[in-house]
Amino acid sequence: MNDSKTLRAWWNDPVDYRWLVRTLAARAALGPLKVLIGVAGVGIAVMGAVIAGTPVGPPGRPGIASTVGVACGALWALRWWLLRWPSKTESLVLIGCADVLFTLEFLQVPDRLFAAMGAVLLVVTGSYLGFFHSARALAAHSAWSLLSVIVFSVRIATGGQDVRLALAVGLLLFVSVVSALPALQILYWLLRTESLSDPLTELLNRRGLETRLPRLVDQHPAICVMTLDLDRFKNVNDTWGHRVGDTVLVRTARRLHDAAGQDAVVARTGGEEFVVAAPIASAAARTEAERLRRAVAEPPETAVEVTASVGVAVYDASVCPRCPRPTPERLLQSADSAMYRAKQSGGNLVVVDELNPPREHEHPAPAPGSR
Convert the pLDDT of each residue in 302-354 to its tens digit.
678 899 999 999 999 888 888 888 999 999 999 999 999 999 999 999 999 87
Looking at the fold, whether 105 and 84 belong to one and the same domain comes out as yes
Q: Please count the other Cβ atoms lying within 10 Å of the Cβ belonging to residue 71.
A: 12
Domain closes at, from 136, 161, 195: 195
Provide the strand spans (E) within the chain. 222-230, 265-268, 273-278, 308-316, 350-354
Confidence class for position 361, pLDDT limits 50, 70, 90: very low
Q: Is 86 helix (H, G, I), strand (E, B) or coil?
A: coil
8 A C-beta contact, residue 353 and residue 313: yes
- pLDDT at position 101 is 94
8 A C-beta contact, residue 65 and residue 22: no
Cα atoms found within 13 Å of the Cα of residue 255, Cβ hemisphere only: 22
Count Cβ atoms within 10 A of the Cβ of residue 19 and give its class: 0-12 exposed, 13-18 middle, 19 or more buried. Answer: middle
Q: Is 311 helix (H, G, I), strand (E, B) or coil?
A: strand
Q: Tell me if 99 is assigned to some domain.
A: yes
Looking at the fold, whether 293 and 183 belong to one and the same domain comes out as no
Q: Tell me if 360 is assigned to some domain.
A: no
Looking at the fold, whether 100 and 227 belong to one and the same domain comes out as no
pLDDT top residue among 300 and 298: 298
Looking at the fold, whether 72 and 187 belong to one and the same domain comes out as yes
Q: Tell me if 190 is assigned to some domain.
A: yes
CB within 8 A of 291, min separation 6: which ones? Answer: 259
CATH number of the domain enclosing 301: 3.30.70.270
Looking at the fold, whether 79 and 148 belong to one and the same domain comes out as yes
Looking at the fold, whether 227 and 314 belong to one and the same domain comes out as yes
- The residue among 331, 336, 370 whose CA lies nearest residue 351 is 370
Q: Tell me if 363 is assigned to some domain.
A: no
CA 10 – CA 28 distance, rounded (Å): 28
CA 255 – CA 268 distance, rounded (Å): 13
Looking at the fold, whether 112 and 234 belong to one and the same domain comes out as no
- pLDDT at position 6 is 86
The rounded Cα 130 to chain-centroid distance in angstroms is 11
- The residue among 314, 310, 328, 327 whose CA lies nearest residue 357 is 314
Least confidently predicted of 81-95, 132-146, 207-221, 271-285: 207-221
8 A C-beta contact, residue 324 and residue 292: no
| Strand ordering across the sheet containing 222-230 | 265-268, 273-278, 222-230, 308-316, 350-354
ω before 14 within 30° of 0 (cis)?
no
CA 315 – CA 237 distance, rounded (Å): 36
The catalytic position among 105, 210, 272, 273 is: 272
Provide the strand spans (E) within 112-190. none
Predicted confidence (pLDDT) at residue 363 exceeds the cutoff of 50: no
Q: Tell me if 91 is assigned to some domain.
A: yes
Domain that holds residue 217: 206-354
CA 30 – CA 22 distance, rounded (Å): 9
Segment 214-235, tens digit of pLDDT: 889 988 999 999 999 999 999 9
Q: Tell me if 22 is assigned to some domain.
A: yes
Strand duo 222-230 + 273-278: pairing:
antiparallel
CA 265 – CA 328 distance, rounded (Å): 13
Looking at the fold, whether 154 and 298 belong to one and the same domain comes out as no
Looking at the fold, whether 189 and 267 belong to one and the same domain comes out as no
Q: Tell me if 75 is assigned to some domain.
A: yes
Looking at the fold, whether 130 and 66 belong to one and the same domain comes out as yes
Predicted confidence (pLDDT) at residue 48 exceeds the cutoff of 80: yes
8 A C-beta contact, residue 333 and residue 314: no
- pLDDT at position 364 is 41
Number of domains in the chain: 2
- The residue among 223, 209, 351, 321 whose CA lies nearest residue 280 is 223
CA 95 – CA 131 distance, rounded (Å): 13
Looking at the fold, whether 158 and 268 belong to one and the same domain comes out as no
- pLDDT at position 360 is 44
Torsion over CA: 205, 211, 212, 216 (sign): positive
Predicted confidence (pLDDT) at residue 239 exceeds the cutoff of 50: yes
Looking at the fold, whether 185 and 225 belong to one and the same domain comes out as no
CA 156 – CA 46 distance, rounded (Å): 26
Q: Tell me if 89 is assigned to some domain.
A: yes
Domain closes at, from 195, 226, 259: 195
Average pLDDT of the residues of the chain: 90
Question: Is position 272 annotated as part of the catalytic site?
Answer: yes
Domain closes at, from 169, 195, 221: 195
Segment 137-193, tens digit of pLDDT: 999 999 999 999 999 999 999 988 899 999 999 999 999 999 999 999 999 999 988
